[in-house]
Amino acid sequence: MNSTSSKPNQRPARLRTSKLWLVLCGLALLAGCSTQTNHKWLTVFFDGVPPLGGVTNAPAASVPTNNVSATNQSVKAASPAAPAPIPGSSHPPFNNRQCDSCHEVGGGALKLKRPELCWTCHKDFLAGEKVKHQPVENGECNSCHDPHRSPYKKLLLKKGNDLCLTCHDDPLAAGKVKHQAVESGECLDCHAPHATNFKGLLKKSVKDTCLDCHDDLIGKKKFVHQPVDSGDCLECHAPHATNFKGLLKKSVKETCAGCHDDIPAKQAKAVHQPVGDGDCLACHNPHASDKKALLKKSAPALCWDCHDNFLEKAKFTHDVVDDCTGCHNPHSTNEKALMKKSIPSLCFDCHDQKDIAAVKGHAGVEDKSCITCHDPHTGTDKFLLRGSAKKPAVSQ
């Protein structure tokens, strides 16, 4: 029974061994055959053999070796990279990874308080200055500057005027008329950001600051308005913005009345129209002039700007008409026609009363005004007689 039962089990083993020998023999034969012959025999023994020229996998990307064998290259650990440069500015200690210049080793604490920490590298720009910017004096450097890097110059947190407006109200919002230097420039054109010896953190005195741009206000003029000469530009002008032309703090009338409070006289009965209208600049230059009293022109040329020039066609003129202010007050008075005095009193300043009384034509007219018979400015005869005062011509 045992010999009979073991024979069927031995046959499958023999068959498997025979097939294995056949495969090995086939592979040995294939080693010396062409590609086409190899492919033919492989399809006999194996299923799923791809056709000739078929592609089963995508080619691997080539790796440049720079002519150096990969086995000869040594692998090194990458060193910490420096901060990537950005447009703007970087603090040198941060850029050079010298963190311990400001920070304690092993922690983020600063070695010193600000601004003492900053003074270890930067000059103490507060020393010797009278007027100091409050954040700087309080050591609040980081309120304006980033300690590491910034997209703006000088490590600023914001660009230009935007930084100033973080704390300060927009000065241009104060009025419709805006200072061009403020509107188109930067605060630092006039102001120092840290400290200075001038009020308002100005880099220079008010006078010198204004003259940097307005260098033609005084020139070589003979007469200079006292506030201008003293550099008190801000007595009249707002430096940033206002609602009045010329950046005045008030209207022209109110500005002038701030010092010249006696013009016009409070009880005056007659006021020159430009004065009443507050148009002082119609006659005066507010800064400097070659004419006395800061007049734009000398009289009577200045007067002809408004009044008709009655001298152009005159045959005879009064000697004093070249000086209108000899008889007239240019601002206000209690007399008609802005006369400085009553007519008789004014005439007697030049004409001797005894000489006038000795003239036969003056007999019996003592109570009349001089201008009843005489024109005060021009005439057709040397006595400037009006038509009604002339004697009728004697008929031949």
Alpha-carbon gap, residue 101 to 293, rounded angstroms: 65
Residue 37 φ/ψ, nearest 5 degrees: -65, -40
Q: What average pLDDT does range 384-389 have in this prediction?
A: 85
Confidence of residue 29 (pLDDT cuts 50, 70, 90): low
> In this predicted structure, what is the pLDDT of residue 27?
57
Mean pLDDT of 36-47: 61
pLDDT in tens, 267-286: 899 999 999 999 999 999 99
Average pLDDT on 2-19 reads 52
* Residue 140 counted as domain residue: yes
Written as six digits, the tokens of 194 are: 């840290």
Whole-number mean pLDDT of the chain?
83
- What is the rounded distance in angstroms from the CA atom of residue 121 to the CA atom of residue 207? 35
State mean pLDDT over 4-19: 52
* pLDDT at site 5: 46
172-213 pLDDT tens trace: 999 999 999 899 888 999 999 999 999 999 999 999 999 999
Instruction: Give me the pLDDT at residue 230, please.
Output: 93
Could you tell me if residue 356 is inside a domain? no
Residue 334 forms part of a structural domain: no
Output the furthest CA–CA distance in the chain (Å, rounded): 199
Give the pair of three-digit tokens for residue 41.
């025999």
- Name 385's bridge partners: 374
pLDDT of residue 68: 42
% the chain with pLDDT above 90? 61
**89 or 396, greater pLDDT:** 89
pLDDT of 127-147, one tens digit each?
999 999 999 999 999 999 999
Average pLDDT on 352-356 reads: 88
pLDDT(109) > 80: yes
Q: Which residues of 84-99 are buried (b: 16+ CB within 10 A; e: fewer)?
A: eeeeebbbebbeeeee
- Inform me whether the pLDDT recorded for 394 exceeds 50: no
Residue 34 resides in a domain: no
Provide the strand spans (E) within the chain: 89-90, 131-132, 149-150, 177-178, 195-196, 223-224, 241-242, 270-271, 288-289, 316-317, 332-333, 378-379
State percent of the chain over pLDDT 70.
Answer: 77
Residue 123 in any domain: the answer is: yes
What pLDDT, on the 0 to 100 scale, is given for residue 111? 92
CB 379 within 8 A of CB 316: yes
The structural domain count of the chain equals 1
Q: Does 196 map to a domain?
A: yes
Residue 150 in domain: yes
Whether pLDDT at 3 is above 70: no
The string of DSSP codes covering 201-222 is GBSS-HHHHHHTT-TTSSTT-S
Q: CB-based burial of residue 155 (10 Å sphere; 0-12 exposed, 13-18 middle, 19+ buried)?
A: buried
**pLDDT at res. 216:** 85
pLDDT for 20 equals 60
The whole-number pLDDT of residue 21 equals 57
Spatial distance between the Cα atoms of 105 and 277, rounded to a whole number of angstroms = 74
At 52, the pLDDT band (50, 70, 90 cuts) reads low
Q: Residue 53 above 80 pLDDT? A: no
Contact 278, 331 (CB under 8 A): no
Q: 226 lies in which domain range?
A: 92-304
- Is 229 within a domain? yes
Between these two residues, 257 and 49, which has the higher pLDDT value? Answer: 257
Q: Give the span between the Cα atoms of 178 and 239, in whole angstroms.
A: 9
Predicted confidence (pLDDT) at residue 217 exceeds the cutoff of 80: yes
Sign, CA dihedral 354-359-363-368, equals negative
Range scoring the smallest mean pLDDT among 22-26, 145-149, 254-258, 287-291? 22-26
Using an 8 Å Cβ cutoff, are 183 and 172 in contact?
yes
Q: Please write the tens of the pLDDT for every residue from 145-156.
A: 999 999 999 999
pLDDT of 4 strictly over 80 = no
pLDDT of 77 > 90? The answer is: no
Cβ of 201: how many Cβ atoms within 10 Å? Answer: 19
Query: Which uninterrupted H or E stretch holds 2?
Result: helix 2-30
Amino acid at 83: P
